[in-house]
Amino acid sequence: MAIAQFLLLLTISATAFPLHAQPGNTITPSKSIVDGQALISSNGAFEMGFFSPGNSKNRYLGIWYRNIPVQTVVWVANRDSPLNSSTGVLNLTSNGNLILLNDSGYVLWSTSTSNVTNPTVQLLDSGNLILTRGTSKSILWQSFDHPCDTLLPGMKLGWDSSTNFNRNLTSWRGASDPSPGDYTYKFDIHGVAEIFLWEKSARIYRSGPWNGQCFSDIPENTLFRSQFISTRDEDYFTYEVLDSSVISRVVLTKDGVIHHFNWDNTSNDWSDYWYVPKDPCDKYAYCGANGVCNASYSTSCQCLKGFDPKSTKHWNQRVYLGGCVRKTRLDFQSDTFSDLQNVKLPDTSNATADSDRSLDECREWCLKNFSCVAFAMSGESGCLTWTGDLVDIIVVNEGGDDLFFRLAASELDTKKGDSSKKQHAVAIVIPLLLGFLLFVFLGLFILKKKRKQGMLTDSCSKESRGKELELPLFDMSVIESATNNFYFNNKLGEGGFGPVYKGQLRDGQEIAVKRLSKDSVQGLDEFKNEVMLIARLQHRNLVRLLGCCIQREERMLIYEYMPNKSLDTLIFDKTKAALLSWQKRLDIILGIARGLLYLHQDSRLKIIHRDLKASNILLDKDMNPKISDFGTARIFRGDQNQENTRRVVGTYGYMSPEYAMDGIFSVKSDVFGFGVTILEILSGKKNRMVKQVEPHLNLLGYAWTLWKEDRCLELLDEAIECSCPVSKVMRCIQIGLLCVQEGSKDRPTMAEVVLMLSNEGVALPQPKKPGFCIERTSTEQHQSTVPEITHTLFEGR
């Protein structure tokens, strides 16, 4: 009987709506959709129909972006009940139930609505599928209330207490399987509302509380407006796009990562705006109760003031889950508060909020309430107070709040009104100060006598000390254990600084250890410079410094490990170059540009790298580029445009003419090195090793000759598939030539370069002759002979 009903339904559908004809953006009871048909929103942005994800042969009913070449599904109806053939039918019954039937007439999915007069289903321009009643058009059901793994602008993420329904994101199980996976991103409204990421039944990340503008880990941006709405019936988060040209989505991936993607018309792919979790500190309760996580610490975790590790043994093994316990019990009579600044506030599940209390009133209330262990002021939430343990505290670089936590008075260094303790402190401080001065003089003497083996008592320069930069420090025993005592097979390579070793910490994290050669005076200067600079820098396209080791006579830098090594090991190796498609090379170029823009303009410091080249670009597991090696970098003042030096450092072939010849360097010097790197990435050839019909030309000269003769496509690496878009290749080569122009004033800034790479609508000027574009005989030496200037030139490392 069921089969007969289905065949009748299929016949009616085919008669009322011929196969492959499109029903517009609505369905009524007289229409149905079969495989091959689709609903299309009125603005053409979204499409709903049947699809097969990845390499799956199953069919699903879903909604995706219509005008994006990469099929991106944002909603799936039958996640748990796939069709095993292309015979599915979507039908709206006369009483208002939208149902999906298989070839046996079995209902695989439905909206479970009924008793609806004159029902209509419509796909809106926002990507929302709605079911409405009659002329009132009141919404009885909508797909936005049943999200899958994607949050679109205008969707709600959170609770509807009137129906006890929680709208949350659930990951796909795999690229070819949209059934619910192990990860869920959802609100927890116990205490103060936050969004948590769960892996099955375990919390693995949280957003932090709402501060009135955004959640702690969701950055503000002029392109978007975030909102947290709390009413009697609902608590939810939503966001809107303020620029209608921006296509945006938030996705929970199958690997348990929250990404905010924007569509990039230049690369024809999705680009990350932000994502979490990023580092170990983002892992929920990574440091346990009353622990504080800071990526700048050598051990990541420290205890709050007045607390000690619950298990020192575990703590030394970098296992922090046990957290910290109080050293001195509270007496609730003379207790006071200590503060911790710029933090992501602790888990608010055991917190309460009172927006009417001021800071002083919040402090007073917490002090009188014996169950209150901490308080903070946070945006619209106002006064937040905690009971019990403080969990998941993270020090952040910017946008954090101040946390005031309860301490026994004896745990403070001084106590107001206690003159005897002040005197005691003076009696201690004066001898220490004298001893310190003596130690400084002694240290200066030793440094003068032992320049090569100098005991580096402070690995930061005076600039970083002035900012009270806390260096991450590793014990020598930890590094020796991680690298198997610097075993030869763990050696990744060697440069002017010294050897680099691969290692693995006890918690499983892979690291790269740069070990300063003991007889390298230049390396010692590089070491101090690199620690001072990179410890203050954080960007997804800069290599991340995990810490350093200053022990015995060793000086080492510990970085995140880059499994795909440096860029030069791929682009100059004909067997490996095929791993880098045209699109991946373009992504790498844009990533390097964004990292360099951060150094020049967006970081707290204005930094000139001075040695940008392919071997100093590292690639992570996803081939994302990260600029490394800041040993020769220099800081500029905010109003400083260029500097002159008599000690030129860098690598010949990447140095700009004004730097190599006259010692003048600026942001435009880095732009020149970036331009050389672009041309090397596109051609797969080194600047000094072009072997064409004119071997006397370097890569810049060869590219310039091809450009003038309108043959620049010949520059492209043979390993790149020939299907790459010609216009984009030409544009990229032109940008590279603009960056290597002989005159520094003619070269674009990195802000202009990023704009050129990201927006094809930006017109490009015609490039002028590159620097060092001269004919040379093959016997000429590749070195500068400028008189009276000492050049320190490093070959590619």
Indicate if 587 and 643 belong to the same structural domain. yes
User: Into how many domains does the chain fold?
Assistant: 5
What is residue 5's predicted lDDT score, i.e. its pLDDT?
A: 47
What is residue 146's predicted lDDT score, i.e. its pLDDT?
A: 95
What is residue 427's predicted lDDT score, i.e. its pLDDT?
A: 56
Task: Provide the CATH number for the domain around residue 347.
Answer: 3.50.4.10
Indicate if 516 and 591 belong to the same structural domain. no
What is residue 218's predicted lDDT score, i.e. its pLDDT?
A: 66
Overall residue count recorded for the chain in this entry? 797
What is residue 278's predicted lDDT score, i.e. its pLDDT?
A: 82
Alpha helices in 405-555 (DSSP H): 419-449, 462-466, 476-482, 521-534
Looking at the domain assignment, is residue 450 inside a domain? no
Indicate if 553 and 591 belong to the same structural domain. no
What is residue 356's predicted lDDT score, i.e. its pLDDT?
A: 87
What is residue 617's predicted lDDT score, i.e. its pLDDT?
A: 94
- Kindly list the distances between the CA atom of residue 563 and the CA atoms of 493, 514, 567, 619, 621, in Å, as whole numbers in the listed order: 13, 15, 11, 7, 6
Please report the DSSP string for 547-577 in residue order: EEEEETTEEEEEEE--TT-BTHHHHT-TTTG
Looking at the domain assignment, is residue 611 inside a domain? yes
Indicate if 786 and 774 belong to the same structural domain. yes
Indicate if 274 and 288 belong to the same structural domain. no
What is residue 785's predicted lDDT score, i.e. its pLDDT?
A: 32
Looking at the domain assignment, is residue 441 inside a domain? no
Number of Cα atoms under 13 Å in the Cβ half of residue 690:
29
Q: Which residue has the tokens 């019909």?
A: 693
Looking at the domain assignment, is residue 57 inside a domain? yes
Amino acid (one-letter) located at 19: L
Indicate if 123 and 156 belong to the same structural domain. no
Q: Which residue has the tokens 């791929």?
A: 570
Looking at the domain assignment, is residue 399 inside a domain? yes
What is residue 636's predicted lDDT score, i.e. its pLDDT?
A: 67
**Best CA proximity match to 400, nearest among 208, 566, 677:** 208
Looking at the domain assignment, is residue 454 inside a domain? no
Residue 249 lies in domain: 147-278
Looking at the domain assignment, is residue 433 inside a domain? no
Looking at the domain assignment, is residue 444 inside a domain? no
pLDDT mean for each 10 residues of the chain (797 residues): 45 41 80 93 96 95 94 96 94 94 93 92 96 87 96 93 86 96 88 88 90 67 80 88 90 94 87 84 93 75 93 85 91 86 91 89 91 89 91 84 91 51 57 68 61 40 38 82 86 77 89 77 58 73 85 82 91 86 93 91 80 91 89 65 61 82 85 95 80 61 91 88 80 95 92 89 90 51 33 35
Question: Among the three residues 91, 120, 144, which one is the final residue of a domain in this structure?
Answer: 144
What is residue 57's predicted lDDT score, i.e. its pLDDT?
A: 94
Indicate if 246 and 208 belong to the same structural domain. yes
Q: Which two tokens stand for residue 336?
A: 């006071």
Indicate if 206 and 323 belong to the same structural domain. no
What is residue 203's predicted lDDT score, i.e. its pLDDT?
A: 93
Which positions are annotated as active-site residues?
611
Task: Provide the CATH number for the domain around residue 538.
Answer: 3.30.200.20
**Best CA proximity match to 483, nearest among 446, 442, 515:** 515
Q: pTM (2 decimals)?
A: 0.54
What is residue 332's predicted lDDT score, i.e. its pLDDT?
A: 74
**Best CA proximity match to 619, nearest among 578, 577, 563:** 563
Question: Among the three residues 258, 278, 298, which one is the final residue of a domain in this structure?
Answer: 278
Long-range CB contact pairs, 385-390, < 8 A, 24+ = 385/351, 385/352, 385/354, 386/346, 386/348, 386/350, 386/351, 387/350, 387/351, 388/350, 389/289, 389/290, 389/323, 389/350, 390/289, 390/290, 390/304, 390/346, 390/347
Indicate if 599 and 747 belong to the same structural domain. yes
Amino acid (one-letter) located at 767: P
What is residue 176's predicted lDDT score, i.e. its pLDDT?
A: 95
Task: Provide the CATH number for the domain around residue 622.
Answer: 1.10.510.10
Question: Among the three residues 278, 301, 335, which one is the final residue of a domain in this structure?
Answer: 278
Indicate if 669 and 769 belong to the same structural domain. yes
Alpha helices in 602-749 (DSSP H): 657-662, 667-683, 699-708, 726-739
Q: Which residue has the tokens 């799936």?
A: 76
Indicate if 720 and 786 belong to the same structural domain. yes
Indicate if 241 and 258 belong to the same structural domain. yes
CA distance 729 to 731: 5
